[in-house]
Amino acid sequence: MTMNKKNIPYIIIISIFAIGIIAFGGVYLFNINANSNTRITARIYFRTDSNSVDYEEYPIQVQDNKEMASEVLSKFMEGPKNVNLHKTMPAGLKIMDPSIIRVVPDRPTDSVFVVNFSREYYNMPPEDEMFLRATLTWTMTDLDFINNVDILVDGKEINNSIGMPTGVQNRQNIDIYTPLAPYNTVSKTVRLYFADETGSKLLPEDRTINVNPDLPIEQFILEQIILGPRDEGHYATVSPDVKVVDVQRTEGVCFVNLSADFTGKGPAAPVTDDVAVYSIVDSLMDVTGVRKVQFLIDSENTGIMKGSIDLSHQFDRNNDIIGDLKP
């Protein structure tokens, strides 16, 4: 069949138009697929008005795992848009280091998101700490490449109500669909002693803390001294690196077992060694039943505080080192 030469231009135009439609359609479909693959919906969990846990959905840009986790964490810290939801990370609490994702080779289901909080973490009431731990865990494990969350404070594992490390948190050991219960704790008001601005006297500081009644209250007092003062004009007496190895009371003697950081690093200048020692002794002597304090360093009854104080003997209360209270 012979083609009419007059129809050739029309055929060419129609062909070009058809090719254009096909090309445009292909690009359009590609863009749809590309856009649908560049964002996911993440669930960010918060506390509700009724003290339960619920979530908001946020579109999250798909990127490498570390960047996606960072973006989700930022949304969690930012807080909800819904007025009936409430952020669980309190003001003043900071994340100290860039969070990491720890992956065990050949065991991707053991992947752990590690977050390191500042020491303000310990200022939270038990119920608030419980909701922070639960909502953070469920938020981060909503990402399919994270199965566990490891919460650190100042680089150290947090402990539960019986003094044992809580370990990694996940959806198996935190159930948000049953009533959440804080650790078994009661409130106690204790008197702690910290240095004055000269570093040569102690000043009392009353503080209400949450304690586990199944553990010696002396342990919580020691931990609070290590955390440092809250009142203005009061100064820390021991290094924040000091750890409480153990604390026991026998026949009125409180045995305080501290890590070697207590003698190795000592107090920050200008705090004297006497102030460092008696900030602990005088704080513990306010506990009913404590008559003397005996220091142990890494479980050994030997230790010298910077060569000036022999820690091997038992200490009595020292009222002379306590400064005058402000009027």
pLDDT, tens digit, for every residue of 299-312?
888 777 766 788 98
Q: DSSP state, 244?
A: E
Q: Does residue 325 form part of some domain?
A: no
pLDDT tens digits, residue range 151-178? 999 888 887 655 567 788 898 888 888 7
Same domain, 83 and 17: no
| H or E element, residue 297 | strand 292-297
Beta strand pairing status for 292-297 and 304-305? Answer: unpaired
- The residues, ordered by sequence, that sit 6+ positions from 64 with a Cβ below 8 Å of its Cβ are none
Show which of 110, 136, 157 is a domain's final residue. 157
- The confidence score (pLDDT) of residue 178 equals 72
pLDDT range class, residue 30, cuts 50, 70, 90: very low
DSSP letter for each residue of 194-214:
EE-TTSSSEEEEEEEEEE-TT
The residue segments making up the domain with residue 64 are: 40-157
- The confidence score (pLDDT) of residue 34 equals 41
Q: Is the pLDDT of residue 113 over 90?
A: yes
Same domain, 20 and 57: no
pLDDT tens digits, residue range 208-252? 887 877 778 998 899 899 888 989 999 999 988 888 888 999 999
Q: Is the pLDDT of residue 52 over 70?
A: yes
Contact between 113 and 95 (Cβ < 8 Å): no
Q: Is the pLDDT of residue 197 over 50?
A: yes
Same domain, 116 and 191: no
Q: Is the pLDDT of residue 13 over 60?
A: no
Q: Does residue 118 form part of some domain?
A: yes
Show which of 142, 157, 172 is a domain's final residue. 157
Other beta carbons less than 10 A from residue 9's beta carbon: 9
Same domain, 109 and 219: no
- The confidence score (pLDDT) of residue 7 equals 54
Q: Does residue 169 form part of some domain?
A: no
Rounded CA-CA distance 118/210 in Å is 19
Same domain, 23 and 11: yes
Q: Does residue 170 form part of some domain?
A: no
Same domain, 59 and 124: yes
Show which of 117, 141, 157 is a domain's final residue. 157
How many structural domains are present in the chain? 3
3-state secondary structure at position 113: strand
Same domain, 18 and 134: no
- The confidence score (pLDDT) of residue 27 equals 44
Q: Is the pLDDT of residue 77 over 70?
A: yes
pLDDT range class, residue 1, cuts 50, 70, 90: very low
Contact between 110 and 148 (Cβ < 8 Å): yes
Same domain, 224 and 250: yes
Please compute the mean of the pLDDT values over residues 122-130 and round it to a whole number. Answer: 86
Same domain, 66 and 19: no
Same domain, 208 and 307: yes
Mean pLDDT of the chain: 83
Contact between 133 and 151 (Cβ < 8 Å): yes
pLDDT range class, residue 41, cuts 50, 70, 90: very high
- The confidence score (pLDDT) of residue 32 equals 39
Q: Does residue 143 form part of some domain?
A: yes
Q: Is the pLDDT of residue 104 over 90?
A: no
Residue 77, amino acid: M
Q: Does residue 320 form part of some domain?
A: no
Q: Does residue 165 form part of some domain?
A: no
- The confidence score (pLDDT) of residue 183 equals 54
3-state secondary structure at position 130: helix
Same domain, 210 and 299: yes
Same domain, 305 and 235: yes
Relative orientation angle of helices 217-227 and 273-285, to the nearest 10 degrees: 150
Q: Does residue 162 form part of some domain?
A: no
Give the lowest-confidence range in 1-5, 12-16, 27-31, 195-199. 27-31
Contact between 197 and 235 (Cβ < 8 Å): yes
Q: Is the pLDDT of residue 36 over 50?
A: no
